[in-house]
Amino acid sequence: MRYMVKMNERFKDWKYPEFDEKGKVVILGAGGLAREVYWIFCDVNKAEGAWEVLGFIDENPANWGKSLCGIPILGDFQWFESANTKSEVKVICAVGSPRARRSLVKKAEQSGLSFITVAHLSVQASKYVDIGIGTVVAAGCILTTQIKIGNHVYLNLDTTVGHDVVIQDFVNVAPGCHISGNVMLREGADLGTGTVILQGITIGKWSVIGAGAVVIEDIPDNAVAFGVPARVVKCREQDS
């Protein structure tokens, strides 16, 4: 089932499920991105009062029991078993690396956990935007029209997405990126801060685009590209 955190009146045309009481959510990850996602929930709660964030999940035992932003690092995935909370808690994965995110999502799915999707109150989007499960849209993003965003995507601060863009699962978009119309970001693509992609370009699966790059031609799968204009400088190990 898809769960979407209700955002504000700009999204009134979207059909979100209604919640009679506060839901409970746990954030997968305990780094900087996880703290930023917690901030999104804090701001959503100021307007909606919708979610109780129980804490963070971190697979490093040295961090268990510590506190971030005033809430605890609960433990690893075994916490869900010991707390007997699977049926009532939703999760969101807040890890920047697309491959690491995919790994955590797989563990969560194997544990029988359900994901939600969340966006900051300041996001602007038309009703013609389709967003998959587990996706995060950070503050200041603008999404125009006929956009399809997959599952477990992260759109970071002040990103703009033009018409007819397709963003596949596990894509990571760093702050300040500008994605022109008819662009395709294939599974696991990772865009560095301030990347600009011209209209009609395809970024291949699991490719990395360096910060500040201007992409004017298609980038193949498993490539690393940077510069103005962006050029492929090496190939990564093929994803399995």
Handedness of CA 27, 66, 172, 100 (dihedral sign): negative
Report whether the peptide linkage leading into residue 17 is cis, meaning its omega lies within 30 degrees of zero.
no
Q: What 3-state class would DSSP assign to 64?
A: coil
Question: Which ranges of the chain would DSSP assign to H, the alpha helix?
Answer: 32-48, 78-83, 98-110
Measured in residues, the chain has a length of: 240
Q: Give the active site residue among 120, 152, 163, 178.
A: 163
For residue 178, indicate whether it is catalytic. Answer: no
Please state, in angstroms and rounded to a whole number, the distance separating the CA atoms of residues 205 and 123. 26
- Of residues 84, 93, 137, 138, the one with CA closest to residue 114: 93
Q: Which residues pair with residue 219 across a beta bridge?
A: 203
> Phi and psi (nearest 5°) for 37?
-65, -40
Rounded CA gap, 14 and 109, in Å? Answer: 26
Active site residues: 163
